[in-house]
Amino acid sequence: MISDQNFIIELIGYFASFMVLISFLMRNIRKLRLINTVGCVAFVIYGVLLNWSLPIIITNTAIAGINMYYLFIRKES
């Protein structure tokens, strides 16, 4: 039987996956990057809750950082 804590962790993982997937349906690059960043942050939380899964945390932190760079520092043309 799955515990309440494990259920919540799994929900966070599914939410993260859903957000990343949905982001690729966006035509507007800013909207894509914003939604993708939400998914990446959720994946980082998910990685932490999975006893600090570094591959998940590092990859999604890097992707979120790249998204933030293009959203707020370098304006895309």
- Report the pLDDT value the prediction gives residue 1, as an integer from 0 to 100: 63
pLDDT at 6 exceeding the cut of 70: yes
Going from N- to C-terminal start, the domains of the chain cover 4-73
Region 14-33: mean pLDDT is 97
Asked whether residue 77 carries a pLDDT value surpassing 60, the answer given is no
Q: What is the pLDDT of residues 30-61, one digit of tens each?
A: 999 999 999 999 999 999 999 999 999 999 99
- Considering the entire predicted model, what is its pTM? 0.91
* Gap between the Cα atoms of 30 and 74, Å rounded: 12
Q: Cα separation of 20 and 38, whole Å? A: 8
Q: Are the C-beta atoms of 71 and 30 separated by less than 8 Å?
A: yes
